């Protein structure tokens, strides 16, 4: 099952893999921003398992692990780099040694420095999709950034670009760029950004879905009383994180999930597979990027490529249940 990456000529798997978690421990300024300790060997095996199952799209960022996620992705891809599409992000200062990310670094010179560092870590000479990571970057400055990004395309250093933002007004700015192909935004069963999806469909841009499994809560593996290590971003539960509150799963989300469990799991799907299948049915432009830390997680999520999207009847039943 494939989808086109926006208005480009790049065909990719309908589901990608999000590489935030495999970055390991790091901080955004003074706040925990990683998912705790990880096994690099397991991460590499998981990426290779994903490729074996037909995954051709991997989303990472300079931020993740202060560059470590990019390093691991580059190692895992190896000689297979040309067979996949790599998306990464820029916009912040990254200190690889201290594992700290800070500030906003978006001048033309800083964009180039960030890109060159990502190319080094990924062991490649081009990036397929370069995304602005600063979701609330000022609109007036964003318009100026397009010229820099178009120059990078003309130089062959990137093939396309996009923005990780939940704001349609910001998406409208980037959509004016010739080589803009995607907007990455929060999108899952319980966080449906209908205005954004409508805009992206109209402009033939891909909707890259961050948080498709609600950082794990939509997999059904967490219940009331779940505990996280202090090195896990879910332990901190920043304000933007709707699915966890004070380090605990949001009870409202857990209740909603039980309401629709039977439909999501129809046909032998797991909850995670049902949540991803919902996204594929929601729009023909969606590309979910579930995170992973193990081979087992990758195999479960990648199986959705064969299972396909939910039916329209199932989508309608879920809508009714969530509105009741």
Which of 202, 201, 287 shows the shortest CA–CA distance to 10? 287
Which of 56, 155, 63, 44 shows the shortest CA–CA distance to 117? 63
pTM of the model: 0.95
Residue 10: Cβ within 10 Å count: 18
* pLDDT the model gives residue 88: 98
Are the C-beta atoms of 217 and 244 separated by less than 8 Å? yes
DSSP 310: P
The pLDDT of residue 221 is above 90: no
Which of 259, 265, 292 shows the shortest CA–CA distance to 277? 265
Residues 6+ apart with CB under 8 A from 2: 11, 12, 13, 14
Q: How far apart are CA 11 and CA 6, in angstroms?
A: 9
Q: How far apart are CA 50 and CA 196, in angstroms?
A: 28
* pLDDT the model gives residue 250: 83
Evaluate the CA torsion angle 202, 310, 2, 79 in order and state its sign: positive
211 in the Ramachandran plot: left (φ > 0), alpha (ψ -120 to 50) or beta? left
**122-180 tens-digit pLDDT:** 999 999 999 999 999 999 999 999 999 999 999 999 999 999 999 999 999 999 999 99
**198-207 tens-digit pLDDT:** 999 999 999 9
Are the C-beta atoms of 133 and 153 separated by less than 8 Å? no
Percent of the chain with pLDDT over 90: 86
Residue 97: Cβ within 10 Å count: 7
Q: How far apart are CA 54 and CA 109, in angstroms?
A: 37
Average pLDDT rounded to a whole number, residues 253-277: 96
**Burial class (CB within 10 angstroms; exposed 0-12, middle 13-18, buried 19+) of 9:** exposed
Are the C-beta atoms of 53 and 305 separated by less than 8 Å? yes
**28-67 tens-digit pLDDT:** 999 999 988 999 999 999 999 999 999 999 999 999 999 9
Q: Which residue has the tokens 């691991």?
A: 72
Q: What are the backbone angles phi and psi of residue 162, rounded to the nearest 5°? A: -165, -170
2-219+272-308 under CATH 3.40.50.2300, yes or no: no
Delimit the domains of the chain by residue range: 2-219+272-308
């Amino acid at each position: 099952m494939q989808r086109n990456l926006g208005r480009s000529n790049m065909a990719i798997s309908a589901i990608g893999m999000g590489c935030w978690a495999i970055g390991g421990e790091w901080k955004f300024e003074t706040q925990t921003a990683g998912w705790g300790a990880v096994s690099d060997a397991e991460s590499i095996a998981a990426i290779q398992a994903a490729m074996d199952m037909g995954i051709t799209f991997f989303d990472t960022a300079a931020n993740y692990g202060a560059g470590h996620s990019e390093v691991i992705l580059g190692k895992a891809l190896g000689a297979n780099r040309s067979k996949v599409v790599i998306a990464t992000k820029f916009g912040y200062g990254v200190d690889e040694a201290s594992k700290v990310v800070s500030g906003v670094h978006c001048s033309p010179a800083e964009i180039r420095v960030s890109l060159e560092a990502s190319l080094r870590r990924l062991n490649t000479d081009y990036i397929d999709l370069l995304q602005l990571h600063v979701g609330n970057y000022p609109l007036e400055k964003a318009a100026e950034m397009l010229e820099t990004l178009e120059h990078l395309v003309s130089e062959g250093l990137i093939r396309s670009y996009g923005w990780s933002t939940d704001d349609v007004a910001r998406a409208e700015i980037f959509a004016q760029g010739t080589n803009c192909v995607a907007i990455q935004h929060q999108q899952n069963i319980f966080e449906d950004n209908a205005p954004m999806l409508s805009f992206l469909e109209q402009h033939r841009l891909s909707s890259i879905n961050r948080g498709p499994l609600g950082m794990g809560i939509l997999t059904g593996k967490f219940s009331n009383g779940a505990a996280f290590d202090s090195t896990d971003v879910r332990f901190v539960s920043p304000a933007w994180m709707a699915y966890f509150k004070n380090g605990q799963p949001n009870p409202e989300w857990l209740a909603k999930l039980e309401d629709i469990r039977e439909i999501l799991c129809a046909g032998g799907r797991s909850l995670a597979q049902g949540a991803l299948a919902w996204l594929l049915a929601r729009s023909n432009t969606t590309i979910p990027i579930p995170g992973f830390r193990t081979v087992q997680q990758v195999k479960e999520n990648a199986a959705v490529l064969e299972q396909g999207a939910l039916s329209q009847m199932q989508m309608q039943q879920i809508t009714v249940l969530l509105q009741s």
